[in-house]
Amino acid sequence: MSVLIIEDNRDLVQVLAEVLNENGFSVESAHTGEEGLEKALLSRFDCIILDIVLPGINGFQVVEEYRKEDGSSPVLILSARDSVEDKVEGFNRGADDYMVKPFDSRELIVRVRSLIRRAADKQSPLLACGRLTLDPVTRECRVDGTFVNLRRREFDILETMLRHANQVFTRERLVASVWKKEYDGRSNVVDVHVKYLRDKLRAHGFDTAIETIRGVGYKIRCSEE
Amino acid sequence: MSVLIIEDNRDLVQVLAEVLNENGFSVESAHTGEEGLEKALLSRFDCIILDIVLPGINGFQVVEEYRKEDGSSPVLILSARDSVEDKVEGFNRGADDYMVKPFDSRELIVRVRSLIRRAADKQSPLLACGRLTLDPVTRECRVDGTFVNLRRREFDILETMLRHANQVFTRERLVASVWKKEYDGRSNVVDVHVKYLRDKLRAHGFDTAIETIRGVGYKIRCSEE
DNA sequence: AGCAAATTTCAGCTGGATTTCAGAAAAAGA
DNA sequence: TCTTTTTCTGAAATCCAGCTGAAATTTGCT
């Protein structure tokens, strides 16, 4: 269980880290909004603890941007400000819980656990779609258990589509999530990699999974019909 | 969005119900632990608000039993007891949030919303009209649950009309919203696609939905008799 | 640097999607 | 009923989004 602490007060980070470590969490920390946002988006944490008052962009902006970029980990705001307005704003920007400093460490732990428990319900570590299976951690892709060797782009495309199976992905959205840049509009990189992906999957007898929605984008079909 | 309130103080239930109603929730209530548990298990609520001190079995037992019976809706405990021990116990029994009375109604609302947002994360909002159903995220159209394959223009027309059911759409407005350009005036593209749409829907036994308003445009009729 | 693998660009091609068009049908008014 | 206006419809014409093979470029390694 990994936790990211975004908090500029290093003493507090120290205390938090100790408490969390004692309870079996591994902790990473960031001391500015930008740094925190970057770390949060770079690798997945089971929970993010976030201060509001930060140098640079503040905590509210961090959650908001994080959600915009499709970050899905639960976010707990830890703030000295206890006004209802602040709480409301926090939740509205996309936070999942709000605790006021000073806080009781036992309560913090159970709240963090609760958030993780909820989030874990929905997210199995293994992505799957029928006979296809994708492990984001080891980056292995299998059909019927036999390994399919995918290149980086192929894997990333498949992963993002599998994370939201049945949803239609525009090329813009895919480029944003896989390449982390703006979509050119004239380029057909996405098309090409989708073709490669299809070829490889077809070689393993897994057709028809990736549908093209003409004029819109692609989607991976999982389930009925 | 439906909420179940389990709380023995009827005045408080009244207040809660009002606040929630104002914010677009439908509310049901139970006044004992047993009754609440039964209701919670009988039909699905988007969120459950639970008091600790109840006649009969108490709130802690309610969550615990509810979880044991595989109830999955988020549970927010609302209690006058503010000790950390109580909070810890609440979370450990399976609650997802804990608020102390007296509470601020705005905070309650955002917390409930946040819980529901997390829980309902995956399923996308559906546009519907009787037996017809349209999912803008997966771009799937169904009649009575069976899939109807629509082309881009057909889907987009149906989507924009469904977003404002019972409103009349001029060809100008449809072209603007679907084609994102000016309406030619001499062209009958809209008419043609509306025909295709009708054909496909009729093939699935869904007639009469799209009406033509002579001299003006089209509208989709979606009344609840 | 030198090489191989991965990624991206490019241009031609194809077939389904879209649009146009003209005549038939329907509605409205006299 | 006849006329005019508007909509519907079938078929044909056009278009354009996406597929593909190959070449060009970049990346990563030794």
- The residue extents of the domains of chain A are 2-122, 127-220
Q: Stated in angstroms, how far is A118 CA from D23 C1'?
A: 51
What count of CB pairs under 8 Å joins A to B? 63
**Closest residue of chain A to B73, computed from CA coordinates:** A118
pLDDT of residue B209: 84
List protein-proximal bases of chain D (any atom < 7 A from a CB).
Answer: 6-11, 17-22
Provide the pLDDT confidence category of residue B86 given band limits of 50, 70 and 90: very high
Segment (H or E) for A172: helix A171-174
Sheet holding B217-220, edge to edge: B168-170, B217-220, B210-213
pLDDT of residue B124: 66
Asked whether A79 and A91 are in contact (CB, 8 A), the reply is: no
pLDDT of residue A59: 96
- Chain A positions contacting chain B at CB under 8 Å are 72, 74, 84, 87-88, 91-92, 95-97, 104, 106-107, 110-111, 113-114, 118-119, 121-122, 166-168, 213-216, 219, 225
pLDDT of residue B123: 62
pLDDT of residue A43: 76
Angle (nearest 5°) at CA A54 between A25 and A22: 15
Hey, what CATH class is A2-122 in? alpha beta
pLDDT of residue A122: 61
Asked whether A8 and A52 are in contact (CB, 8 A), the reply is: no
Hey, what CATH class is B127-220 in? mainly alpha
Q: How far is A147 from chain B (nearest CA, A)?
A: 29
First and final C-alpha spacing in chain B: 23
CA–CA distance, A198 with A175 (Å, rounded to integer): 18
Subunit contact A114:B97, Cβ cutoff 8 A:
yes
Give B53's contacts (C-beta < 8 A, 6+ positions apart).
B8, B59, B79, B80, B81
Give A111's contacts (C-beta < 8 A, 6+ positions apart).
A76, A97, A99, B91
Q: Which residues of A touch B97 (CB under 8 A)?
A: 97, 114
CA–CA distance, A98 with A116 (Å, rounded to integer): 15
Model confidence at B224: pLDDT above 50: no
Q: Please state, for a pLDDT cut of 70, what percent of chain A lies above it.
A: 97
The pTM of this model reads 0.71
Model confidence at B120: pLDDT above 80: no
pLDDT of residue B194: 97
Q: What would the mean pLDDT of A11-22 be, rounded to a whole number?
A: 94
Asked whether B40 and B5 are in contact (CB, 8 A), the reply is: no
Q: How far is B21 from chain A (nearest CA, A)?
A: 18
Asked whether A41 and A5 are in contact (CB, 8 A), the reply is: no
